Chains A and B, each alone.
Chain A
């Protein structure tokens, strides 16, 4: 049976490197995905992910378990992302492949999904990425944490050091802006308005 994060953290603090590397293996993709969606650059997101784990390793003795290990990692990641945005002085740029590789797409396709649908989904993802990149940092971060990482409002509020109501407001405003951006990009036509159903 797999060990919990808390068990692995406890063993890591006792000097067990293998335990910490299990934590790395468990969390590297979510952490990378968070960094990628916040800063929008593949290589930099990878660097941020690696730096997150290195900092976590170095600061492990100071982690007393007052928060979930994943929340602690998220906080480190978001701080690094904020530093990156401040340092680079630029807004995130969502990278999207220039061309569409049909072979790669075919390998990803669900059995029932046609290539046409997959291409449409890729195009849709690209449009979403661009719209997300245009959001203010705080709104984008709130949406990423909620939509893609499933954090609760309270967890997001703790991570971002802001009131619960602010988190909800950021989410609502962000989703509203996104909807308008996507509508301007003609995304609604892909779904034919089907998503409007309650």
Chain B
């Protein structure tokens, strides 16, 4: 090749008039340059067949730059699956071994406690004070309590769903901020991550409470059994003493 820069300039018609005349004179004498010119033009012809997709655009700049406000309540953005999982966990715990259930929802979020011998929780429908842990609750009463608490929990979940729906409705309102798709994805990813973290913390808290209640109940159960066993042993001793006394009396006669 003689002069590739001139050749490229000629292909793209960026030579001045005088340069062009001069180069065409060269072309008439140089078969190699003519061949190269033909190849370049052929390649350019092929390039014309590559068309990008034609997506629909709806991007535009709007006034204002306020980012979406963070949810004020911890469970405001908990997804449906997480609420369902929490409900399933609670029901499973109740069915497994729990005869008493405490459901509390406050500023610190949803708190669920389970146990054999807990009294009714503060804020429960009965309005009773926090239960005396040492007082055993009849099984029938515990089942009623469990039923009430499950209903309370279901009502709470419905409230949360409604709150979430309201939040989504507000989010669907015309945006005030100029947000691009990457920013939106980042915000959504952050929200999702935060939700997961909070949900994990809450599930972890439920599990810790459940475990602690089980240990507590087991300890108390052991106490009751031991006490019962102590009573039984005492009675056995009394029976044995009585029998021995009767035996001795009979022998003396």
The segment out of B32-40, B104-112, B115-123 that lies at the interface is B32-40
Asked if A28 lies at the interface with its beta carbon under 8 angstroms from chain B, I say yes
State in angstroms the CA–CA spacing of A33 and B14 once bound together: 24
State in angstroms the CA–CA spacing of A121 and B46 once bound together: 9
The smallest beta-carbon distance between A159 and chain B, in angstroms, is 16
Q: Is the CB of A128 within 8 A of B59?
A: no
Contact string against B for A residues 29-56, beta-carbon threshold 8 Å, 1 for contact and 0 otherwise: 1001100110000100111011101100
Residues of A close to B43: CB separation below 8 A:
175, 178-179, 182
Q: Is the CB of B42 within 8 A of A153?
A: no
B window 19-51: CB within 8 A of A: 34, 37-51
A57 with B61: in contact, given A165-B5, A172-B7, A178-B47 (CB under 8 Å)?
yes
Q: Which of B12, B55, B62 contacts A17 (CB 8 A)?
A: B62
Asked if B167 lies at the interface with its beta carbon under 8 angstroms from chain A, I say no
Q: Which of A28, A32, A128 contacts B46 (CB 8 A)?
A: A128
The smallest beta-carbon distance between A129 and chain B, in angstroms, is 5
State in angstroms the CA–CA spacing of A168 and B40 once bound together: 13
Total chain A interface residues with beta-carbon distance under 8 A: 49
The segment out of A1-9, A62-70, A71-79, A190-198 that lies at the interface is A190-198
State in angstroms the CA–CA spacing of A198 and B39 once bound together: 9
Asked if A169 lies at the interface with its beta carbon under 8 angstroms from chain B, I say yes
Q: Which of B39, B48, B181 contacts A196 (CB 8 A)?
A: B39
Residues of A close to B37: CB separation below 8 A:
198
A54 with B178: in contact, given A124-B49, A182-B43 (CB under 8 Å)?
yes
Asked if B211 lies at the interface with its beta carbon under 8 angstroms from chain A, I say no
Residues of A close to B39: CB separation below 8 A:
176, 179, 196
State in angstroms the CA–CA spacing of A53 and B181 once bound together: 12
Asked if A81 lies at the interface with its beta carbon under 8 angstroms from chain B, I say no
Nearest A-chain residue to B4, judged by Cβ: A172
Residues of A close to B136: CB separation below 8 A:
none
Nearest B-chain residue to A175, judged by Cβ: B43
Q: Is the CB of B34 within 8 A of A125?
A: no
Q: Is the CB of A187 within 8 A of B46?
A: yes
Contact string against B for A residues 150-194, beta-carbon threshold 8 Å, 1 for contact and 0 otherwise: 001100000000000100110110011011001000010001000
State in angstroms the CA–CA spacing of A21 and B59 once bound together: 9
Asked if B9 lies at the interface with its beta carbon under 8 angstroms from chain A, I say yes
A128 with B55: in contact, given A53-B61, A153-B14 (CB under 8 Å)?
no
Q: Which of A125, A178, A198 contacts B41 (CB 8 A)?
A: A198
Asked if B182 lies at the interface with its beta carbon under 8 angstroms from chain A, I say yes
Asked if A147 lies at the interface with its beta carbon under 8 angstroms from chain B, I say yes
The smallest beta-carbon distance between A86 and chain B, in angstroms, is 16
Q: Is the CB of B8 within 8 A of A168?
A: yes
Residues of A close to B41: CB separation below 8 A:
195, 198
The smallest beta-carbon distance between A191 and chain B, in angstroms, is 8
List chain A positions with a Cβ less than 8 A from chain B.
Answer: 17, 20-21, 24-25, 28-29, 32-33, 36-37, 42, 45-47, 49-51, 53-54, 57, 121, 124-125, 128-129, 132, 143, 146-148, 152-153, 165, 168-169, 171-172, 175-176, 178-179, 182, 187, 191, 195-198
A-B contact pairs, 18 of them (CB 8 A): A24-B61, A28-B57, A32-B52, A42-B53, A45-B52, A47-B182, A49-B59, A128-B47, A147-B47, A148-B47, A171-B8, A175-B8, A176-B39, A182-B43, A191-B42, A191-B46, A196-B38, A196-B42
Q: 19 more A-B contacts (CB under 8 A) besides A45-B52, A175-B43, A195-B41? A: A21-B61, A24-B59, A29-B54, A36-B52, A47-B181, A49-B57, A53-B61, A132-B50, A148-B47, A153-B9, A168-B8, A168-B9, A171-B8, A172-B7, A182-B43, A191-B42, A191-B46, A195-B46, A196-B42
